[in-house]
Amino acid sequence: MNQKIREAALGAGIPLIGFCTPQIDTRTKNAFQNWLETGMHADMAYLHKTRNTRRVIEEFLPGQKSVIICGFPYPAVESKHVVSYALINDYHALLHEKLETFCLYLTKAFSGIKTKVFIDTLPVLEKVYASKAGLGCIGKNTLLLSKKYGSRLFLGGIMTDLEIEHDGPEKWDPCGSCRKCIDACPTRALDAYVLDARKCISYHTIENKGEIPEDITEKMGEMVYGCGICEKVCPWNNKNTVVPGWDVYEDLANADVETLKILAGESFKKHFGKTPVYHSGKRVFLRNIVIAVANKARQ
């Protein structure tokens, strides 16, 4: 049955797939709780509000027996100002479409089963399930690392009451003594396997809707959306793997900060509406551009 499901996933455009139980081990639950209690989630109050649901996802689908976790690789796009995944078409719609197509197959092949699609719009610890199902291992940069695709993966999946033979986690250490991500982080937001969002440039340029602290703005350089340094320096991302199926917005990737400011001022929705940048909003994006322009002037 597992092989049949894997083949159907490939047919739906899903290259990575694994199976695991919905239960999360006590150690992981406690680590997540401790991370919240120390305030490392910064102002992302939704993480604290949904903490119990994230640790017990069976509430989303009563009778749930399995999680089908899926990985969607995306291409590396070079830019001095915007992180790679924001220079392609918005992943939410694409992932949802492929997972819904996959769900249609499952409900036809296994009559009477219940399913529920999830991506990062639902409070689910996707990386935990991906690691548990053998899609990769979580690295010191706190990201899932795949041997083939590195950390450039979007994650989503399907909860189901179908009983599937579960995969086990991969037994390899992706990092060893390597500390490249920790040492390269300009704000020292990383410790091994722990991210402090209060210091993270990605958090501040995407999630933080208020004023960014001066000790962070000084280290942002000319980045206006995301950061990605901990991914760029990771040896697992030094691969030229071809990843088809995405629209790459080269005009945005090649634009300087002044051009990005003009484009956002002309029509934010027109130029950024099909990218993840749009979700953070025009005001936040322009705030980041003002900081980038000031940093550039100081160089």
Q: pLDDT digits over 211-259, tens only?
A: 999 999 999 999 999 999 999 999 999 877 778 889 999 999 999 999 9
3-class SS of residue 52: helix
Please identify every residue annotated as catalytic: 120
Prediction pTM value: 0.94
Task: Identify whether the C-beta of residue 235 lies closer than 8 Å to the C-beta of residue 179.
Answer: no
Residues of the chain with pLDDT > 90, as a percent, come to: 92
Cα angle for residues 185, 232, 177 (degrees, 5° grid): 65
Residues with Cβ within 8 Å of residue 44, at least 6 apart in sequence: 197, 203, 207
Rounded Cα distance, 64 and 23, in Å: 10
Q: Is the dihedral of CA 218, 287, 231, 138 positive or negative?
A: positive
| φ, ψ (nearest 5 deg) of residue 292 | -65, -40
- Residue 155 predicted with pLDDT over 80: yes
pLDDT (average), residues 20-38: 96
- Tell me the domain boundaries of the chain: 1-299
User: Which pLDDT tens digit goes with each residue over 100-140?
Assistant: 999 999 999 999 999 999 998 899 999 999 999 999 999 99
What value does the mean pLDDT of the chain take? 95
Rounded Cα distance, 217 and 223, in Å: 10
User: Which pLDDT tens digit goes with each residue over 36-67?
Assistant: 999 999 999 999 999 988 888 888 999 999 99
